[in-house]
Structure 1
Amino acid sequence: MEPIFCTIVPPHVLDKLARNEDQALAEPARRTLERDAALRTRRRLETVSAIGPVPAGAPSDQPARTVYDAKHRTDLPGRKVRAEGDKTAKDLTVNRAYDGLGATFELYLKAYNRHSIDDSGLPLLASVHYDESYNNAFWNGEQMVFGDGDGEIFNDFTISVDVIGHELTHGVTFHTANLEYFGQSGALNESLSDVFGSLVKQYALQQTADQADWLIGAGLLAPRVTGVALRSMKAPGTAYDDDVLGKDPQPATMDHYVRTGRDNGGVHINSGIPNHVFYLVAESLGGFAWERAGQIWYDTLTGGELSTTADFAAFAALTAASARARYGDGEEYQSVLKAWSQVGVATNGGAAELPHQTPAPEGAQPPVHG
């Protein structure tokens, strides 16, 4: 399977916005939807070719970042404006993209001993200032791309480091479980990006689970919007309630699971359910969420047992099995069982059997920025 084209703003949000009577709000959303549709089609037709070679030999413990300026055009990657080790740029958007790539690299390296997206030191590339008033950010299988937003509904998409972590994690998922982007497997794909996107932010800020906001895209919504973010893992369905965007449709439990043919079967909507499970596990265990809770999810994603078409029940059983394999039958395993039960998904007691896991790396070093 080829890498999927993944955007941070769900189509249902842009659809709602595109139907607004105020053309100043509707037109950028329509153009964004059209651009996304064209890019998605192109992604299916193209074969993937990495921009820049993967370094030979043992992967480095340092990232290989390059940021480009698209200059409000759509030709990628654009003009190179900052490479690894270059001094800080005058453009804050460039620096935020550079730092976000670094923060994501640091989480995966320090917490999970993973060397970049593919675990082989893949260079991390990003283009900023994409198109005019482009209301999205995306991973296209090769690089990150950020719009500046329209300034009315959405701000600059480099503002939220968790958005960068989210999109790059789609690359991690492609190189590991490669979950199909439809229905429950697609919702798991989205949820894993939210989980590790949130962990990137928490790691960068050195926040414990009880200190974190558990929001995806905090700061992206412009002041006129009644809302705090695109999604809430702590309380799915509460991220926004706005006269233009409508109400956040994410469910927190299977009782409110949304059956729809849109958005690839609701991948951005029903991801609220496994998102909430991770929050519940992290909250129960306390401390730094990237350690035990994150380790369980990372083991599940990378362990080789996760089917490309896995549904919530299969993923639940594997997280329970991963918790038991690494930590035994203690509080980690019990927290996973309880959390899935709370949202209405059976784990079968973690019936999936996994090989014994090596211990997680001890401690975590502060992330390197700039």
Structure 2
Amino acid sequence: MAIRKTLIAAAIVSIAGTAFAAPMMGNPVSMSKQDNDRLVSTLNGERGKHGLDADHGYALGSQHPGANGHAINRVHHTYKGVRIFESESVVVTDKNGAIVSEAATDRRGSLSAKRFDVKPTLSGNDAIAKAMKSLPSTAAHIDPPSAELIIYPVMKTVRVAGAENKAEADLNALDVQDVVDSYQLAYLVKTRMSKGQEAVFHNTIVNAKDGSLMDQWNMVQSIVGTGHSQYNGDVPIQTTLVGTTYQMLDSTRGTGGQFGGMAITNANHASTSNPTPGVIYTNSTNVWGDGKNYISGGSTTNANGQTAAVNALWGLQNTYDTMNNVLGWKSLDGNNTATYIAVHVGTAYDNAFYTDTCKCMYIGDGSSFYSLGSIDVIGHEMGHGVTAATSNLTYRGESGGLNESASDINGEAVEAYARNGGTGTVINAGNDWMMGKEISKTGTPLRWMYKPSKDGSSLDAWSTSLKRLDPHYSSGPNNRMFYFLAMGSSATTTSDYYSKYLVQAPKNMTGIGIDKAYRIWFKANTTKLTSGSTYADARAAVIAAAQELYGVGSKEAKAAQRAYAAINVGADIAE
């Protein structure tokens, strides 16, 4: 990943460290068509610097508010008008439209030299039919399938100069890089289906010339395995009074969306084969829930049935407030678009998931687990919404692990903020650094941030095998990085907090606190990472974000470098 910074950005670095507690983001972005056209024209004018001809172009994907009135623009790279998969730029512009900084994953390579043909043999419907043959025939569509024509770079991993003779076990993440091996014209087919209570969400790459399946990955981004809340005692929740009836509709957080505000709805055991949200929770009084786990088979609307909704609304409000009050980031997309959470989905359903089709969340009642609406799970699922709206990290390989880690990080930050009262502009420690401990009937969490390998499947450090793991397990090293960045490590070799990769002084690196660590990670994810980012890219992005926020050579920037070194991504440095 290439990251460039103009003189304007360098000037920002010199003052950013004095105002870290102020909100990072601004108001929702409203750039005019003229501004957008000017940005694309500016980028096109720089094609020569990259050795690109007029067949190459740019297409604006999304925009979000940035710091100091800036706008964060995600721009796709195109060739003859067709999007190049995972080749994109994140361009930050000031209020006048001038480019402040740019991060890019550039996979355009030698397309012009190859005179690449962008005329498909198959139609989009043909590609969908091909993809469907690889999926369960009994699954039912939740949303209509889609097919987008793309140029698909086929990647291979090579060793960099100087690492050719290293033993596999001795490789560092910076010893290898992914390069383009070839290009194929393809369709990105998105299918969102369900089979019984199983969500069957997949993205499939279908060759647009011969119909062969080139790649496929699972898109279920989930946790597997005064209201009276189940996990947090009596908590304040924001509701709306309509006539004489109270609704679980929070119109003070978020605008628009399906319900006109942040809402909690009752799926009322609707099958995941048809996960409609149901209706907004209502009550004759403004006291909700009984604080107890849902009794399977019971009413979903009485006090016991309302408890899951209380859990969800308190979690949603705290997640919104964490990002808004601390960072100035409003809702999932930064533009304050309201979302909703549907509870009681399925029957004894052991899952909670975010889906990009409705940009919303569904929470199951659990069977092996208690009700899945704990604060860290809600923060985790809403974190998927932030990533989907910004970096859109592809849910496979190393980028998939970073995607899951971004949600785990969000869950822990939200838990810490909520545990300290859910107010103010700073996050203080108060989380347990374990994902899903409260929902576990055995007390064993789903994941340990500080020692991921305790779950028996996750890795503690980067290795070449990382990209072959499920994203819930390839997230491990980045989770550990975040823990070390926030809380530091131990020099005791038998400790769960020890890293053999920290070889400089002191061997127990010093953390910078969860508040600063969260700001750095969030800035990296929303302004620098792209869909195909690797662990090496994440290191560069996090170090750059730390430098921009706190200064080059700052203790925060050094801690970022050490935290990645601790998971075998880059070399260690002395504090």
Normalised TM-score (structure 1): 0.70
Aligned length in residues? 283
3-state SS of the aligned residue for 1:269?
A: helix
Q: Does residue 66 in structure 1 map to residue 263 in structure 2? A: yes
In structure 1, what is the equivalent of residue 214 of structure 2? none
Q: Does residue 194 in structure 1 map to residue 408 in structure 2? A: yes
In structure 2, what is the equivalent of residue 180 of structure 1? 394
In structure 1, what is the equivalent of residue 523 of structure 2? 299
In structure 2, what is the equivalent of residue 52 of structure 1? none
Aligned residue type for 2:534: D
**Structure 2 stretches lacking a partner, 5+ long:** 1-60, 63-193, 205-216, 218-250, 255-260, 290-302, 422-426, 489-509
Identical residues among aligned pairs (%):
29
Alignment of 1:145-160 (within 5 A): 145-150=362-367, 153-158=368-373, 160=374
Equivalent pair of 1:317/1:348 in contact (CA under 8 Å): no
Q: CA deviation at 1:215?
A: 0.6
Equivalent pair of 2:400/2:474 in contact (CA under 8 Å): no
Cα deviation digits, residues 115-173 of structure 1 (max 9, x gap): 111112211201111111111000112211011111xx211111x21111111111111
Equivalent pair of 2:253/2:338 in contact (CA under 8 Å): no
Q: CA deviation at 1:190?
A: 0.5
Q: Does residue 327 in structure 1 map to residue 541 in structure 2? A: no
Aligned counterpart for 2:278 among listed residues 78, 86, 90: 78
1-structure distance, mates of 2:369, 2:316: 21
Equivalent pair of 2:417/2:428 in contact (CA under 8 Å): no
In structure 2, what is the equivalent of residue 117 of structure 1? 332
Equivalent pair of 1:148/1:156 in contact (CA under 8 Å): yes
Equivalent pair of 1:137/1:145 in contact (CA under 8 Å): yes
In structure 1, what is the equivalent of residue 198 of structure 2? 36
Q: Does residue 130 in structure 1 map to residue 345 in structure 2? A: yes
In structure 2, what is the equivalent of residue 230 of structure 1? 446
Q: CA deviation at 1:301?
A: 1.1
2-structure distance, mates of 1:102, 1:214: 21
Q: CA deviation at 1:219?
A: 1.5
Q: CA deviation at 1:41?
A: 7.7
3-state SS of the aligned residue for 1:66?
A: strand
2-structure distance, mates of 1:347, 1:157: 39
Q: Structure 2 vs 1, CA of residues 256 and 178 (structure 1 numbering), >3 Å: closer, same or farther? A: closer
Higher relative contact order (CA 8 A, sep 6+): 1
**Structure 1 stretches lacking a partner, 5+ long:** 3-31, 45-59, 240-247, 350-370
Q: CA deviation at 1:36?
A: 3.2
Q: Structure 2 vs 1, CA of residues 66 and 209 (structure 1 numbering), >3 Å: closer, same or farther? A: closer
Alignment of 1:18-29 (within 5 A): none
In structure 1, what is the equivalent of residue 378 of structure 2? 164
Aligned residue type for 2:279: R
Normalised TM-score (structure 2): 0.46
Q: CA deviation at 1:346?
A: 1.6
3-state SS of the aligned residue for 2:350?
A: coil
Equivalent pair of 1:209/1:283 in contact (CA under 8 Å): no
Q: CA deviation at 1:87?
A: 5.3
Q: CA deviation at 1:237?
A: 1.9
| Greater share of strand | 2
Equivalent pair of 1:66/1:124 in contact (CA under 8 Å): yes
Q: Structure 2 vs 1, CA of residues 314 and 62 (structure 1 numbering), >3 Å: closer, same or farther? A: same
Alignment of 1:101-112 (within 5 A): 101-112=316-327
Q: CA deviation at 1:38?
A: 3.2
Aligned residue type for 2:372: F
